[in-house]
Amino acid sequence: MSARFVDCQAANRLRLLAKKDRLLWEYVKDKGFTIITFDEDFEVLSQARGYPPKVILLRPGTLSASQTTNLLELNFETICEFLKESNTSGVLKLVRIGI
């Protein structure tokens, strides 16, 4: 991950990868984190439970680590604005286009 995202933590590093989505949701909410995911289930959770936490949904499908970093880098300002806004939706969809 780039220097801009130095505070990012992967679910597997936090030993949360095998947890059910709702347990991961509660952990992230309690810690004040944002979820970055390919998993549309977190969009459904956001619609059902509201936010926090906010969710950044990467579409479509799975990307390599470098493609994910590129997508996040290209959208850095958008992500920052999304995280600052309290009156926005709890989900930001980032779409991969020609990465």
pLDDT in tens, 56-71: 998 876 778 888 888 8
pLDDT in tens, 1-26: 567 777 777 777 777 776 788 888 88
51: its two tokens:
């936010």
Q: What pLDDT, on a 0 to 100 scale, did the predictor assign at position 93?
A: 92
Distance, CA of 81 to CA of 26 (rounded, Å) = 23
Across the strands, what pairs with 36?
56
Q: Phi-psi region for residue 38, left (φ > 0), alpha (ψ -120 to 50) or beta? A: alpha
Q: Average pLDDT over the chain, rounded to whole?
A: 83
Residue with more model confidence, 94 or 98:
94
> Taking Cα atoms as reference points, which of 98, 54, 38 lies closest to residue 74?
98
If one counts the domains in the chain, the total is 1
Instruction: Please tell me the pTM assigned to this model.
Output: 0.82
Which residue range(s) make up the domain with 17?
3-95
